[in-house]
């Protein structure tokens, strides 16, 4: 007669710490890249910084998804025999569904956060605030606007100029974006810490330890 090993909560504090460092590093590198673009205005230097920025961001995103995958597994154990609202595959797939990825990742993370507390208290507002900051930063960071100027002679336009600005092009806009990115980074780190702490507490609780 065989016995299945009972499912237990396995806190992923090590991975959580690595994710937090990666998120913080990604934010610092991104600020450095945009500052270089703003100050140096050298195409080659800008390309190097942007390439490093993209690589660090991809690494941080991959680590976050890996942490979320493990956190889902712990959350499932915590709420057993109840079922999670979203299947584990959505911890990865939710980020890659066009248009739906404006909402799905937040729903999956909120589900993991709620379940990690044993449904006793909701972290939905915290997750919503983090996600809204994330979306605003991402959308604004890729946005741009145009300014127009012209010179007239005798009532006719003789010169016409269009200048494109990104939201990192001027010092005031760069400061605004830096503050937004810093707030998003802090919220993401706090989110990882919060969910990991709840799962660590659940791992030592009598109901889950046995």
pLDDT averaged over consecutive 10-residue blocks of the chain (210 residues)? Answer: 60 90 92 71 73 90 96 91 91 95 95 85 82 90 64 71 62 79 94 93 64
Q: What is the domain partition of the chain in residue ranges?
A: 13-209
Q: Kindly report the number of other CB atoms within 10 A of residue 148's CB atom.
A: 8
pLDDT recorded at residue 209: 40
pLDDT number for residue 49: 77
Q: Please tell me the predicted confidence (pLDDT) of residue 167.
A: 60
> What pLDDT does residue 208 have?
44
Residue 109, pLDDT score: 96
Assess whether the previous peptide bond of 81 is cis (omega < 30° from 0). yes
Identify whether the C-beta of residue 28 lies closer than 8 Å to the C-beta of residue 182: no
pLDDT of residue 186: 95
pLDDT of residue 22: 96
Integer Cα distance of 102 and 94 in angstroms: 9
What letter would DSSP give residue 104? Answer: H
């Amino acid at each position: 007669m065989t016995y299945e090993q009972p499912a237990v909560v396995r806190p992923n504090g090590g991975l959580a710490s690595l994710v937090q460092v990666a998120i913080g590093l990604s934010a610092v590198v991104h600020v450095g890249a945009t500052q270089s673009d703003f100050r140096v205005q050298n195409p080659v230097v800008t390309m190097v910084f942007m390439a490093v920025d993209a690589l660090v961001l991809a690494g941080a995103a991959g680590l976050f998804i890996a942490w979320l995958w493990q956190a889902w597994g712990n959350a499932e154990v915590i709420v057993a025999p109840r079922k999670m609202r979203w299947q584990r595959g959505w911890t990865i797939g939710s980020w890659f569904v066009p248009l739906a990825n404006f909402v799905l990742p937040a729903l999956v993370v909120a589900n993991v956060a709620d379940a990690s507390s044993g449904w006793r208290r909701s972290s939905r507002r915290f997750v919503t605030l983090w996600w809204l900051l994330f979306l605003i930063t991402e959308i604004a960071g890729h946005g741009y606007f145009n300014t127009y100027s012209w010179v007239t002679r005798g009532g006719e336009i003789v010169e016409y100029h269009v200048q494109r600005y990104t939201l990192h092009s001027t010092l005031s806009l760069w400061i605004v974006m830096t503050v937004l990115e810093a707030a998003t980074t802090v919220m993401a780190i706090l989110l990882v810490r919060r969910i990991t702490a709840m799962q660590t507490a659940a791992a030592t609780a009598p109901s889950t330890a046995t």
